[in-house]
Structure 1
Amino acid sequence: MQKQWAMSLILTAVFLGSSVMPLRAGELGDTIQQQQDLKQEQSQIQGKLNQLTFSEDKLKAQIQDLSKQITTAQTTLSLTQASYNKAQTDVMNSQRDLDERIKELEARREVLKKRVRGIYEEGQLSYLEILFQSTDLGDFISRLEYFSKLVGNDQQILAEIKTQKDQVEQKTKELQARRDQASQLQTQAAKAKADLDGKNQQYQAALAQNKKAQDDLSEQNARLAADSNAIAEKIRKLTAASAGKVLGTISTYPLPGYYEISDPYGWRIHPITQQKSMHTGTDIPAPGGTAILAAGSGVVIMAGLYGAYGNAVIIDHGGGYTSLYGHQSRIGVSVGDKVKAGEVIGYVGSTGWSTGDHLHFEVRVNGNPTDPLQFFH
């Protein structure tokens, strides 16, 4: 009976062990897939944010250029307004001068008409009056000559006034033409400024809409980041179960022969987003297609497209240690594969958020990033 009971206990333990481990592995895989999906969504959102940022910069540049044009248009409008005002004043002054010349001409004409009419009406009597009023023949001739000169002087003054009137009239026409031209220029300048103001309003509205879209995406990205952190915590708990079963230590450099570091672990200005951010790994440049080696023995828990990392592989080394190999051109392993330190797991590329062929190499302890180069001193 004791043997049977012991055998039953062993079989139960084997049964439970065989059922729990796949469940844990399946749950870990599903959780990693969820994180992968979130990373992909975050990558897409970040791409949209980058496009919006580019559009924002472009709109700001256009608005700045429009502001300069509006300032120039306002100056032009002010100048044309001043030019029109002066032309209008000149026209009014010239018109007033013309009216005075016309009045003066009419007055002189009226005086001459009266004088000529008197001569015609009185006929020889006028001459007789001049004769009788004269003291002698010389006085008569002098009076007659004076009378003739008086009439001739009136005619000369009349001609001069008419000439002045014609000149002022011509000047008035020229000033009116200049005023009309100034008015036309003023209208054009006002329309140009109105058009620029309209464009500026459109750009400002587009900028406000762009900003709102950025805020919405940033909020969405923040929610995704929170979800991603929650999933990362879940992954840490799931991988913590193997803390007492260390599969291998991290001791093998992933790219032998390529020791130049283009971007070390730590805070930096991101080469694509231009934002200050934490660089959670180390970038090692190498020709595309160079073999990538596993930094230690372990189990592949992720192999595929991983958001900004592009084609990536994550290896669980046990004890809470994981290593990540990003931007691969081609992946050489699958999820669930057991690998040994120094085994080829993929090839250098430039997939995901990358500006050239290189390996992005990460090491995390209980999900927290750490400087990966410390393991190779």
Structure 2
Amino acid sequence: MGPRTRPTRSLPIALLIAVSMGSVGTPAQAHGAADELDEVDDQIAALTNDLAVAERTHTDLAGALIETDTRMSELRAQLDSATHEVEAAETELETLRLQLDVLQRSVDQLLTEIVRTSAEVASTVDRLEVEAVELYMAAAGGESLIPLLVPSAEQGAVAVAYLADSAVESESLVRNLEALKAQEQRDLDELATRRAEMEQTTAAANQRRDELADRREGLATIAEQVEAERNRQQALLAQVDSDIELFESELAGLEREQARLKELLADEQEQGGSRPGRLSWPVQGRISSVYGYRTHPVTGARKLHSGLDIAAPSGTPLVAAAGGRIVLADWFGGYGLTVIIDHGGGVATLYAHQSRLAVSAGDTVGSGDLVGYVGSTGLSTGPHVHFEVRTQGTAEDPLPWLRG
């Protein structure tokens, strides 16, 4: 397809862009402020997230600490109760030991009495046997000690009668002593039974005391562990509180810096806007020619190709690479139907060879807004958009702007 031409404007493009944008103050400063603001915004977002995480952690730790305090109070109450139970068991055990000692003394005393009674029974039995022999010998006329002990037969008869009475008394005494011994043995058996029962009771009380003591020691161990966990939680909570304080301080500083940068950019906007940091692709297509020196496909002259050619079907929508103000929407010499957008900060973009325009000079557009349609007007060999990026009117390679 041959080139399509219309009467061209004589105003050079660099001068047109510079005049249309007017005074822009310090674009490098504005560009730096915009980048700084983006970085500060990112830092604020990250720090706000960190602060939110820290506050949630604080809430969780505070709740856990309350639960730990409650658990600690319960353990202390259980520990106090266990201590009282151990003390009560010790008192009961001491009482049982005293009772057992008293019972043992009673057993020992009764054993002594039984031994004494047994000895008395044995002595009485021995005496009774001697008296019985004497009586037998006296009655049988045999040898007897009585005639040797008394001077007359009359006195001997009296002695024999005495021996008979004594024997009767001794027999009665023996029976009484045997009965006493039997009663003492029964008492001893009863005491032994009571002592055995009390020993069992004492052993059970001792075992219960030991079990209570073990339980108290177990509770004390758990209480120590819970106390250690409580100390750990308090330390973590203190650290989180410190982090929150630091985050809030840093956030306040960043917000002040954010406000300063916004004010700076607002001032720059009044003077011509802030410089964009990155541009979007105006159309999706094949790059048919890059920025740099080349032989012009129409004129054949070797010269600087001041933009990027992106081939696309005729009528494909073209969009603004960034927000800004339309400073040209018209036929522009060899560029054909062209749109120029002032993005502020000394940066402008150009969209040439359009088939149809969708904006007018003075319009304000946002990034991605429709500005026209791909065509082949002006000095062109086929449908494409010639896309330029200019800073202070000087053309730059668009690819670095588009790629990052």
Matched residue SS, 2:141: helix
Q: CA deviation at 1:219?
A: 1.1
The match for 1:147 among 154, 163, 166 is: 163
Structure 1 counterpart of 2:175: 159
Tell me the distance in 2 between the aligned counterparts of 1:92 and 1:194.
30
Matched residue SS, 2:186: helix
Tell me the distance in 2 between the aligned counterparts of 1:226 and 1:128.
120
Tell me the distance in 2 between the aligned counterparts of 1:71 and 1:148.
68
Superposition pairs of residues 182-221 of structure 1, within 5 angstroms: 182-221=198-237
2:121 matches 1:105: yes
Cα 1:128/1:91, change in 2 over 3 Å = closer
Cα 1:130/1:77, change in 2 over 3 Å = closer
Code of the residue aligned with 1:73 in structure 2: it is A
Identity between Structure 1 and Structure 2 (%) = 12
The match for 1:175 among 179, 191, 196 is: 191
Contact 1:63–1:203 (Cα < 8 Å) also in 2: yes
Q: How many residues align?
A: 245
The match for 1:85 among 101, 115, 121 is: 101
Q: CA deviation at 1:206?
A: 1.0
Cα 1:75/1:201, change in 2 over 3 Å = same
Tell me the distance in 2 between the aligned counterparts of 1:221 and 1:102.
83
Q: Which moved more, 1:51-60 or 1:181-190?
A: 181-190
Structure 2 counterpart of 1:337: none
Query: Could you tell me the TM-score, scaled by structure 2's length?
Result: 0.54
Cα 1:128/1:201, change in 2 over 3 Å = closer
Matched residue SS, 2:219: helix
Contact 1:112–1:151 (Cα < 8 Å) also in 2: yes
Tell me the distance in 2 between the aligned counterparts of 1:152 and 1:101.
19
The match for 1:230 among 214, 228, 246 is: 246
2:69 matches 1:53: yes
Tell me the distance in 2 between the aligned counterparts of 1:220 and 1:129.
110
Superposition pairs of residues 122-137 of structure 1, within 5 angstroms: 124-125=140-141
Q: CA deviation at 1:134?
A: 8.6
Contact 2:40–2:258 (Cα < 8 Å) also in 1: no
2:14 matches 1:36: no
Contact 2:82–2:216 (Cα < 8 Å) also in 1: yes
Structure 1 counterpart of 2:256: 240
CA RMSD in angstroms comes to: 3.1
Structure 1 counterpart of 2:78: 62
Contact 2:135–2:160 (Cα < 8 Å) also in 1: no
Q: Which moved more, 1:112-121 or 1:47-56?
A: 112-121
Cα 1:54/1:126, change in 2 over 3 Å = same
State which structure, 1 or 2, has the greater radius of gyration over its C-alpha atoms: 2
Tell me the distance in 1 between the aligned counterparts of 2:223 and 2:38.
52
CA deviations over 1:224-280 (Å, ceiling 9, x no partner): 21111111011111222466789xxxxxxxxxxxxxxxxxxxxxxxxxxxxxxxxxx
Cα 1:120/1:146, change in 2 over 3 Å = closer
Contact 1:35–1:228 (Cα < 8 Å) also in 2: yes
Q: CA deviation at 1:24?
A: 2.5
Contact 2:40–2:257 (Cα < 8 Å) also in 1: no
Stretches of structure 1 that go unaligned for 5 or more consecutive residues are 247-377
Query: Could you tell me the TM-score, scaled by structure 1's length?
Result: 0.58
Matched residue SS, 1:58: helix
